[in-house]
Structures are given as C-alpha cells and as structure tokens.
Amino acid sequence: MVIASVSGCRCAGDMGHLGAGVETIRRGVFTMTRQHVWTAATVLGVLLLAGPAAAGPASMLDASEASAFMGTWVIAMENPRGGGTRDQTVVIRDEGGKAAARIEGGRGGALDITDIAKDGDSLVLSFERSGRGQAFPIVLTLTLDGEMINASQDIGGGRFTVSGSGKKQ
C-alpha cells in the first residue's frame, strides 16, 4: 500500500475532500481516498443487510408450485383469546416467476412474506410478528379443500396454535 497526497484522486473536481493532506490509498491503477473506502464499505454493508428486503417480497419458491393458491383469500381465524373469529386476508401472487405473499388483518398490520415453501399439498408461510417487546415466529400452513382453504397457524414455536378456514375473493 502506498500513501500519496490528494492529487492522486480521480474524483470529479475533488468536491468531497476536506483539502490537502487527505490520504489516498493506491493499489495498482485503482485509487481511493480513505473517505471513499469508508463510504463504499458503508454502502456495501447496508446492501448486504437489507438485500432480501430491498429485493422485494418474492420468495425462492417458483410461482408454478404455488399456482393453485394464487389469489386473495379471506380466512376466518379463531381468536386466540376466545370469542369467535377474526378475518385475516392472505394474498398470494406471482412476482417475477416466484411466489410472493402478503398478510393483512390481525395484530401488527400488513406484512409481506418472503419465506414461502411447499410441504406436500400445503403452502407454508413463515414470518415474525412483534408484540410487547418480543418477536414471535409464526408458521401459517395453508391447505386447499375444493374451493375452500384451511389454515393452521403455529405461534411462538408451538406456544399455541389457531386454525381457520376461508374462501377466495
């Protein structure tokens, strides 16, 4: 590594530099200031951490494997605290050839699901919900029964399970 002055930088007008004395790191033909290295490392770190979220809500499951489930389903789920049911809308769609899902209703508002898998004849959506300062893993298993859909939702890694059924809108 060779340290040189700011004059070795290839920046347009050197506008981002603080003036003379800024160290430049040279490696062959590639020249960067420490400020550029820090900026590049920060951007790379953000992209690596946000990669799946920035890429969109599609999963790795081919949409063709979930084609029977595609559409908007309104599912009446048991209320975990008793007292009837509450509607939960599950939207399953093809996004660039991959299955994508969104859950609306229930606590926490709408949520895009990226962890989608097939288990036999069932479609399995895995996600987390937060409440009271904790994140709870949830696994929603959907199974078709003619024109109806049956749902089983495992909450908190087996702490409790609720079920329901619904139909396509």
Beta pairing partners, 130: 135
154 pLDDT tier (thresholds 50, 70, 90): very high
How many whole angstroms separate alpha carbon 48 and alpha carbon 57?
16
Residues 6+ apart with CB under 8 A from 64: none
Amino acid 161 reads: T
pLDDT computed for residue 14 by the predictor: 46
Q: What is the percent of the chain with per-residue pLDDT over 90, rounded to a whole number? A: 48
Amino acid 148 reads: M
| Cβ-contact 78, 165 below 8 angstroms | no
pLDDT computed for residue 109 by the predictor: 82
pLDDT computed for residue 39 by the predictor: 52
Furthest CA-CA distance within the chain: 74
- Does 15 have pLDDT greater than 50? no
Bigger pLDDT: 13 vs 145: 145
26 pLDDT tier (thresholds 50, 70, 90): low
One DSSP character per residue, 37-76 reads: HHHHHHHHHHHHHHHHHHT-SEEEEEGGGGGGG-EEEEEE
How many whole angstroms separate alpha carbon 4 and alpha carbon 2?
6
- Give the torsion sign (CA, 161, 162, 165, 166): negative
pLDDT computed for residue 2 by the predictor: 44
Bigger pLDDT: 84 vs 118: 118
| Cβ-contact 151, 141 below 8 angstroms | yes
On average, the pLDDT of the chain sits at 77
Homologous superfamily of domain range 58-168: Calycin beta-barrel core domain (2.40.128.20)
- Does 76 have pLDDT greater than 90? yes
pLDDT tens-digit series, residues 112-137 = 998 999 999 999 999 998 877 888 89
- Does 66 have pLDDT greater than 90? yes
Residue bearing tokens 């530099």: 17
pLDDT computed for residue 103 by the predictor: 95
27 pLDDT tier (thresholds 50, 70, 90): low
Whole-prediction pTM: 0.64
Sequence ranges of the domains in the chain = 2-54, 58-168
